[in-house]
Structure 1
């Protein structure tokens, strides 16, 4: 690195900014001037305080809502760009402007003057998995971690024909086996339908695909379901709570087991470590795709990233799959169109999936309307001027915490509504992508940011797309399913998921002739 990257906010910086903060001066500049969000707004009807605290941290979407409370009447850039300036702290910028989101994502990296990934919202994850990960680290550490851990997940590695066919076949076998158990259970009841929560089933399948198919371990399904999945679920819940409530930043290993929850978290951490050891054990023999980790780095350099990948199987990929199924369970015509398109597809190569155009639009629409990651955190390393495609600029002070509000950007009619896409932004409508194509808008122009964007794009993007396509495709081919509840709210923690656990009424499809 040419220059050091620091995230601190020193005493002199605090004192220098304090007068302007107390007087309410806007610390931003340029044509894209964001609007100020009051810290307290009694009587306004605002849904929450605009920052997490021990009483609201479990509803982060509501916290983000609070930034845009009353902003529909704002003029200019303040309609979609908002900031909070708490005296003595760096400013917080929240944007739901896709052009600004794209510009900041594109200007995130490890070069001097670029944005960092803000580590503050990931503090709990770092304490549970380690700081030397692709998710948490910045600068030269991030660059080194990407070189070590990301290549096996890349498109050129994952989709090499001879490797992909073997890999994809094991995926299909695993999914068919698990769905076969569900099918046999339904048949054994003698009833035409059964009420099932799909999320618990999908979590186990997603973890099994990663541990057994990708990394080559041989962990039994029952062990995954009864031991490892519950432990990681509780660890994720601990991570969310720890990020907000652990103000001293003490790692779990140093916390005394004075409460039942901390004692349980320590046991779950030990189970998580056990699973990590099982996955690492396949490295010596080159099982699964371990042979694609072209590095002589010691196991210790991979351990933290492995824990992130394993937790991600229960978070991002599960989120993506369950939301897709939740939307299809409430749009039965779309479900049947997907079935007709993939009914005779057995070889899920990237080319065959690309041919299933409507299915691809369903997946894109899922990531647009209900992205797993509802915001992308960034931090300005220096005073930075961001320029969007039409030439307008925003001047962002150094140390600013930036929340790129993907969830809110994708649901606003100004960006994705009828005038642009032909359909309301808050509706699930795969057909909007046909409308965009017909109107000449390229896919590179209309980004849903479902896997992020720019240098810090999710390294598991291609693996996640393959896993979700296989899981959703297999379920659609085997079952008809409709939602038990007419509507479904989102619950959010590390990622978003359907609040009802994807509760559906399953019915076996007649076997193909």
Structure 2
């Protein structure tokens, strides 16, 4: 009988859910081990909690607050429940949320294609899949993910990106763009008679990032004006649609099938057409083996690459824009840090890999940016079977099959227990690049002070090295060229696919 139950559990998800139901009805904890999470109530009237602990039509635009709901008043608790919480609603799979860096690292490391490992949870990505397709490195799991990861390894690798020819193309395109923007700013200041100008930089940074992606990385030839006026606005609206579609489209019907009866649907279809057009523009250089395509080792037909290219264009644009705008936003509020970066980059005329590597304080600024304001504010995982997880300090937890796991990087990186004065010399919620030198002086190994800014483990972001290259160039050149400040000390976030400064990176800037 026991063997029959085991067979049914392994082969019939519905049978598992039925067996789980009595424990759910009596609020029995579905986890085991010495690191048990605390239960979160689905509804908790009178608690002052900022949100329900699940996304719905009225809160999906504030996803950081949904994570916050899991840890509402958690600091009053001691023990493993302080940083590990779960929701278990009868009839549904449990949801485990952790802001424990040790647990995040252990689960991320145990994610992969082998039997018993965690999958990337596809539930938060259904909107992306409907917009781009399901056969992508982002959405796939198991053997399909491993195959696509192998194909992407060479063109995204650090060795490829930092080859002199490839790197110099990035640097030259960026210099050309910066020169043109400086001239525009000079003309504006001359005509206005002012010494400084107030501007929201997010849209400008997006154009620069998309230009480097399309023209340098993929070898396309798209003008700055086309990127600014056509493709960036279309991609912004596509990404906004992806976020809302993930929550609102419960029927799972692709919006492309809807008749064009409203301006909103008509605009969405026009944006999708622009996205498709941009994808084919970056695919076209493959035939001539230009730019990254020289390193692309696959005989897959072009049509098989479309979905991954769409994910990459939208995802890389979001992530690098988030990373760069947060760094600029923090530096705008920390004049001393801005001047220290300037002292490092003011003599750099050619941004070689060696020059960037020598700018150690800029590196600390970028690491602190990813710690305090990570682009990827949570990492979704799903248990493929009943799985024991052991952290590096030997704590253990049994996570049952089907559990949705949210690795809450945002709150892990901001908690005093993990990144505060005792651990790093500075408060966890403050932007302090000096904490990285403190940690180095204490002999803390890099593996022990992870900010998870690009994820971690086998499913680390494949564009990590590209993102660091682009953002290093952008922030370094921006600080060298401009002096900039922010009017408000507060620096709140808005979150969607990634996080960004809520004010659109509003700064007052002048030429140095």
Q: Which moved more, 1:101-110 or 1:174-183?
A: 174-183
8 Å contact kept, 2:425–2:438: yes
- Matches of residues 458-497 of structure 1 in structure 2 within 5 Å? 458-497=461-500
- Matches of residues 393-472 of structure 1 in structure 2 within 5 Å? 393-472=396-475
Deviation track 1:223-281 (CA, whole Å, cap 9, x = no partner) reads 11111111110000100000001111122322333443233212211110011111111
Q: Does 1:256 align with 2:252?
A: no
The CA distance in 1 between the partners of 2:337 and 2:197, in whole Å, is 21
Q: Does 1:35 align with 2:38?
A: yes
Find the counterpart in structure 2 of residue 274 from structure 1: 277
Shift of 1:205: 0.8
8 Å contact kept, 1:94–1:405: yes
- Matches of residues 16-415 of structure 1 in structure 2 within 5 Å? 16-415=19-418
Equivalent pairs counted in the alignment come to 504
Unaligned runs of 5+ in 2: 1-8
Q: 1:9 to 1:507 in 2, by over 3 A?
A: farther
Find the counterpart in structure 1 of residue 6 from structure 2: none
3-state SS of paired residue (2:320): helix
Q: 1:62 to 1:277 in 2, by over 3 A?
A: same
Shift of 1:349: 2.7
8 Å contact kept, 1:485–1:503: no
Deviation track 1:108-165 (CA, whole Å, cap 9, x = no partner) reads 1111111110000011001101111111111111112112234211112212344433
The CA distance in 2 between the partners of 1:49 and 1:156, in whole Å, is 45
8 Å contact kept, 2:166–2:291: no
Deviation track 1:355-407 (CA, whole Å, cap 9, x = no partner) reads 11111000000000000010000011110000001111011001100000000
3-state SS of paired residue (1:377): strand
Shift of 1:166: 4.2
Shift of 1:452: 0.5
The CA distance in 2 between the partners of 1:178 and 1:132, in whole Å, is 39
Shift of 1:179: 4.1
Q: 1:372 to 1:9 in 2, by over 3 A?
A: farther
Q: CA RMSD in A?
A: 1.7
Q: 1:141 to 1:176 in 2, by over 3 A?
A: farther
3-state SS of paired residue (1:114): coil
Q: Which moved more, 1:470-479 or 1:178-187?
A: 178-187
Shift of 1:9: 8.0
Q: 1:417 to 1:343 in 2, by over 3 A?
A: same
Q: Which moved more, 1:239-248 or 1:182-191?
A: 182-191
Unaligned runs of 5+ in 1: 1-5
The CA distance in 2 between the partners of 1:389 and 1:262, in whole Å, is 50
The CA distance in 2 between the partners of 1:464 and 1:248, in whole Å, is 35
8 Å contact kept, 1:90–1:400: yes
